[in-house]
Amino acid sequence: MRIVIVGAGQAAASMAARLRAQGHDGPLTVLGAEPVAPYQRPPLSKAYLLGQMGLDRLVLRGPEWWQDQEIDLRLGETVTAIDRTAREVVSDRGRLAYDALALTLGAVPRRLPASVGGHLPGVHVIRTLADVDALAPAMQPDRRLIVIGGGYIGLEAAAVAR
């Protein structure tokens, strides 16, 4: 059975590991839009933003693990459609057949609408490694930070900034 997992985040990494542990030895492919292997997001607004943790500790499994497990991890590839009749996923790189398909697509932060400035330079969101790599250099002494959204991630970003 050919299993395809779309979305290469924490859920995908856990699911792929569990499938192998439970004896699925057939083709297993994980497709992810981000250019990096599945990584932990929680440190992004904590130790990683503070500069106390590198990418090497953020990634959940090293490249050798994916190879050893014979899991085809395809990064930087965005799935744009599912052809359920043909049982294929369609991505920006072509088509891939599946017998079973799992969607582990995560979430995206809500941005402020462009009409109130959500698109302006200096306005960031925090979800991905790329988001935090863009934000961190802007967090400098003598600059002002406004956090919009007082949930855990906003409070953690404020604490790191302070």
Residues numbered 32 to 61 that lie near ligand FAD (CB under 6 A) are: 32-34, 41-42, 44-45
The residue with tokens 């503070």 is 50
DSSP 38-63: -B-SGGGGTTTTTT-S-HHHHBSS-H
The residue with tokens 């930070």 is 145
Signed CA dihedral, 71, 72, 78, 82: sign only:
negative
Could you say whether residue 79 binds ligand FAD (CB under 6 A)?
A: yes
What would the two tokens of residue 71 be? 């899991």
Could you say whether residue 74 binds ligand FAD (CB under 6 A)?
A: no
- Residue of 104, 125, 135, 160 interacting with ligand FAD (CB under 6 A): 104
Using the rule CB under 6 A, give the single segment among 1-9, 63-71, 115-123, 139-147 that binds ligand FAD: 1-9
What residues make contact with ligand FAD under the rule CB under 6 A?
A: 6-12, 31-34, 41-42, 44-45, 78-79, 104-107, 126-127, 153
